[in-house]
Amino acid sequence: MDPRISREDGDGVSLRHGLLGLLAEGPASGYDLARRFEDHLGPVWPAQHPKIYAELSRLADAGMIEVDSHGPRGRKAYRITDAGRAEIRRWLTEEEVDHTLRTESVLRSFFFWLMETDDLQAHLRREQEFFSQVADMARGYAAAKDRGDFGTAPQTRSMRVAVEAAVRIYQALADWAEWAQTVPPAVPAAEDDTHPPAAANEV
Amino acid sequence: MDPRISREDGDGVSLRHGLLGLLAEGPASGYDLARRFEDHLGPVWPAQHPKIYAELSRLADAGMIEVDSHGPRGRKAYRITDAGRAEIRRWLTEEEVDHTLRTESVLRSFFFWLMETDDLQAHLRREQEFFSQVADMARGYAAAKDRGDFGTAPQTRSMRVAVEAAVRIYQALADWAEWAQTVPPAVPAAEDDTHPPAAANEV
DNA sequence: ACCTCACATGTACTTTGGGACATGTACCTT
DNA sequence: AAGGTACATGTCCCAAAGTACATGTGAGGT
């Protein structure tokens, strides 16, 4: 027995809801879902295939999804059920959002004072470049979407919104890394000059 | 035996390095560190006290830290060793940064098309307000630092940089949530939406 | 004298995450 | 016909994260 799929009340198991959300777009196999997690949700919610297959089994047991078809090489596509659709809608509207961010980049910045000035500057340049590149990639994606390359289905609209988040967050981080390079290293300076214009994340 | 504290080569155990980094500022007890993790690093790297005490024991076994003093009610303060200082410096300069972000807010946005327009707008307003408030708090912190409220020690300079990241990221997210409210809801446009064969999930 | 609260440290248990291992199938190229 | 590659699904195990439980001390108020 033991029918609890989500223990007690609501919890933060987002992988489950990520899968449900993707399956709400249409039937897909575990392999498909792993790829889409990797490609689309990867940066915001990493998940590897063992986890996905396991979760699919549990979702099937709970009646949230069911096998839609069997394909070529053992391929097993799942389809979302009404219960599943209800569950993800419930999650989206009723469940509280977990706002923790968990960025190692920022964690490290607390300890920059332990680094040699040269190492730090090099690190910040690398970080800036990385974030800029990701931001640019996201911008490219956004532009393609706006050109209509992906059609006008409601899902792609949401994807556009998500991509916009990526653009803004990574640009903000790139700007931050750039700004950090201008912060003078620890020198007991005269009247201190750290006053930044308090962030203008103008896009 | 089994002397591996960090298994094989470098891994992503940031809690260990977070603790080392905080201890590099001066001796502190597990209780202190738990509070500082909660207060300062909480939003970017959550950690709860059981984890911290366990990690401190392991760090002590590895010779990265040692007991500095015993205080009033069983209080046990640790002090970082040279080995520990070397290790955190190594981590900061040599170890690759893990750039995954893991934001539930953005994950959810992929599935906004499943929400009723009213629910979505309400959700976005709440998100915008939340992010704005956090950004404002961070700005307040930054201003206090710039005023010199926390002194000019090198650590507080790094903290200033970290706070700036918070300001920029949360402001970017607030702006994003505001912008998202202006994106028109899915309208079955001229071009027809026959592409997804599954999905009778029109709202 | 009592009581409560913040201080302080831990153990135990459950869940999640991530990597390694294992297996097999169809398609495409040479 | 052989071989490589992408497709496809899973198990197993350990590390890390998270929650609940358990215990005790010292300081300050009434």
What's the pLDDT tens digit per position in B2-60? 333 344 444 567 899 999 999 999 999 999 999 999 888 888 888 999 999 999 999 99
Q: Is B73 on the interface with A (CB under 8 A)?
A: no
A93 Cβ under 8 Å from any chain B Cβ: yes
Residue with token string 């470098």: B10
Of A100, A158, A64, nearest in space to B110 by CA: A158
Query: Do B177 and A97 contact (CB within 8 A), yes or no?
Result: no
The continuous run of DSSP H or E covering B65 comes out as strand B65-70
Cβ neighbours of residue A167 under 8 Å, at least 6 residues apart? A135, A138, A139, A142, A203
- Maximum alpha-carbon separation in chain A: 73
Q: Tell whether A86 lies on the interface with B, counting CB pairs under 8 A.
A: no
* pLDDT tens for each residue of B152-202: 899 999 999 999 999 999 999 999 999 999 998 766 555 544 444 443 333
Q: Do A173 and B176 touch (CB under 8 A)?
A: no
- B185, with CB counted inside 10 A (0-12, 13-18, 19+), is middle
pLDDT of B64 higher than 70: yes
Determine the nucleotide nearest to B77 by Cα–C1' distance.
C8
Is the shortest CB-to-strand distance from A180 to strand C under 7 Å? no
Confirm if B164 and A201 have CB atoms less than 8 A apart.
Answer: no
Inter-residue contact B172 to A168 (CB < 8 Å): yes
Six token digits for residue A179: 């700004």
DSSP code at position A73:
T
Q: Which regions of chain A are under pLDDT 70?
A: 1-12, 186-203
Output the pLDDT for position A113.
Answer: 96
Q: What distance in Å separates the CA atoms of residue A1 and residue A172, rounded to the nearest whole number?
A: 49
DSSP string, A83-147: HHHHHHHHHHHHSPP------HHHHHHTTGGGS-HHHHHHHHHHHHHHHHHHHHHHHHHHHHHHH
pLDDT at A13: 75
Biggest CA pair distance of chain B: 75
> What pLDDT was estimated at residue B106?
94
Nearest-CA residue to the C1' of D12? A50
Task: Summarize pLDDT for B91-100 with one digit per residue, the tens.
Answer: 999 999 999 8
Q: How far is CA A26 from CA A30, A45, A81, B203, in A?
A: 13, 20, 11, 15
pLDDT of residue B190: 53
* Residues B112-143 pLDDT 10s: 999 999 999 999 999 999 999 999 999 999 99
Q: H/E element holding A70?
A: strand A65-70
Torsion-angle region of residue B26: left (phi > 0), alpha (psi -120 to 50) or beta? left
User: Is B152's CB within 8 Å of A104's CB?
Assistant: no
